[in-house]
Structure 1
Amino acid sequence: MLEIGNLSLRYGRHLALNQVSLRIAEGETVVILGANGAGKSSLLKAIAGLARTEAGSVVTLDGQSILGTKAHLIPEAGIALVPEGRGVFGDLTVEENLTLGANPKRARAGESSRHALIYDLFPRLAERKSQLVRTMSGGEQQMVAIGRALMSNPRFLMLDEPSLGLAPIVVTELFGALRRVKQTGVGLLLVEQNVSISLSISDRGYLMEAGRITGENSAEALRTDKAVQQAFLGGSAA
């Protein structure tokens, strides 16, 4: 279980997160819904050790605090982040990016089988394993970013706007792969503007506004909630 409690984060005088609390069980898929500026990306950065939180904040994995752990050690705990903007190494090949993802000690056993899984999830990467990533399309680079994160053998995979800027057909392919990742038992924590498709693969969701959690429910209940429909789904369930 990954649990966040009373998590607060400031950028100067701006309070980006205000006592946020949520949980995600192993193997569960949870989506965070909210407008731009709600604090969703800041939440993922705080969990990943990329932002300093306020006193009283709590982040635990199986009851053990990971708050204050250096960012490069968070993957050793079993948490991987696919950041907005992907963060791939453009001057390296697909294969080299994936190999770098397997750097954590927890990832070294089973590295070859995870390579095989990723190439099965994303056949285009298998075809282009020797290609420089900077020469690939945005969708292909996002596949590399997800594949590299999966190479770390995560228990929880966090994704920040994975569909941003991608064509609808690529988004469908990407979320089809995430459904298969979910079936392997990896927990997913999604921040995603494409609310309909993210709810379609999620078990639960949280609503976030101005740095606070303002609601929580099952994905199905959120899909049929009139307020959520009006705010995110164009006024009708999708």
Structure 2
Amino acid sequence: MLEIRDIAVHYGRHQALDKVALDVAKGEIVVILGANGAGKSTLLKTVAGLQAAVHGSTVTLDDHRLDGLPPHKVVEAGLALVPEGRGVFGELTVAENLAMGAYAQRARGDEARRLAQVLALFPKLAERRGQMVRTMSGGEQQMVAIGRALMSAPDILMLDEPSLGLSPLVCGELFDALEKVRDTGVGILLVEQNARRSLEMADRGYLLENGRIVGQGTAAALRDDENVRRAYLGAASAH
């Protein structure tokens, strides 16, 4: 279980996050919905150790404190981030990018089995293991980024806008893959612009506005909430 408590982040005088708290269990998908600038990316970066939080903020994974740890130690603890923009190594091949993901000590010794899982999840990568990543489409690069994160053997996988800029067909493939990842027991914390599709596959969700959690509930309850429908789904309630 990933437990986030009282996360606060300041950029100068601007408070980007204000006492954010949420949980993600293994084997569930939790989506964070919010407008641009709400603090979603800042939250994921803070949990991943890429952004410093205010003293008193805590992040724990299976009762192990992660707050204050450098990013590579966070990965070793079992938490991986696929950032917005993917962050793949364009001059390396698919196989080399995936191998980089298995650098963490926790992932060593099981690389072959995990690689087989990733290639089964994304068959296109199996066909293109020797291809240089910068020559691939955006959707294929996103598959590389997710596959690389999975190679680190995470208990919790965080994704920041994975469908951004991708075609509806490729988005569908990615979301289907994330559901399969959830079925393996990995917990997923998802920031996603496609609120409708993410709520269809998520178990629970949180609403983030101006750096604060202003609502939460099951995905079904959020889908049926009139305010959520108006703000994020582009429709008023049918009731």
Identify the TM-score tier after normalising by the shorter chain.
over 0.9
User: Conserved in 2, the CA contact under 8 Å of 1:223 and 1:237?
Assistant: no
2:204 corresponds to which residue? 204
Q: Normalising by the residue count of structure 2, what TM-score does the alignment of the two structures yield?
A: 0.98
Residue by residue over 1:116-153, the C-alpha shift from the partner in whole angstroms, topping out at 9 and shown as x without a partner, is 11111111111111000000000000000000000000
Aligned counterparts of 1:78 and 1:153: Cα–Cα separation in 2? 7
Q: In structure 2, what residue type is equivalent to 1:39?
A: G
Q: 3-state SS of the aligned residue for 1:217? A: strand
Q: Normalising by the residue count of structure 1, what TM-score does the alignment of the two structures yield?
A: 0.98
Alignment of 1:68-87 (within 5 A): 68-87=68-87
User: Conserved in 2, the CA contact under 8 Å of 1:160 and 1:190?
Assistant: yes
Residue by residue over 1:44-67, the C-alpha shift from the partner in whole angstroms, topping out at 9 and shown as x without a partner, is 000000001001111111222111
Residue by residue over 1:25-72, the C-alpha shift from the partner in whole angstroms, topping out at 9 and shown as x without a partner, is 121210000000000000000000000100111111122211110111
| Alignment of 1:110 onto 2:110 | yes
Q: 3-state SS of the aligned residue for 2:31? A: strand
Could you say if the C-alpha distance between residues 237 and 45 of structure 1 is closer, same or farther in structure 2, counting changes exceeding 3 Å? farther
Aligned counterparts of 2:7 and 2:177: Cα–Cα separation in 1? 31
Residue by residue over 1:78-114, the C-alpha shift from the partner in whole angstroms, topping out at 9 and shown as x without a partner, is 0000000000000000000000000011101321111
| Alignment of 1:185 onto 2:195 | no
Q: In percent, how many aligned pairs have the same letter?
A: 62
2:92 corresponds to which residue? 92
Aligned counterparts of 2:124 and 2:104: Cα–Cα separation in 1? 25
Q: In structure 2, what residue type is equivalent to 1:76?
A: E
Aligned counterparts of 1:149 and 1:223: Cα–Cα separation in 2? 29
Aligned counterparts of 1:172 and 1:119: Cα–Cα separation in 2? 18
User: Conserved in 2, the CA contact under 8 Å of 1:161 and 1:193?
Assistant: yes
Runs of 5+ unmatched residues, structure 2: none
Aligned counterparts of 2:198 and 2:171: Cα–Cα separation in 1? 10
Offset at residue 10 of structure 1 (A) = 0.9
Runs of 5+ unmatched residues, structure 1: none
1:3 corresponds to which residue? 3
Task: Could you list the structure 1 runs, at least 4 aligned residues long, displaced by more than 3 angstroms after superposition.
Answer: none
Offset at residue 200 of structure 1 (A) = 1.3
Cα RMSD for the two superposed structures: 1.1
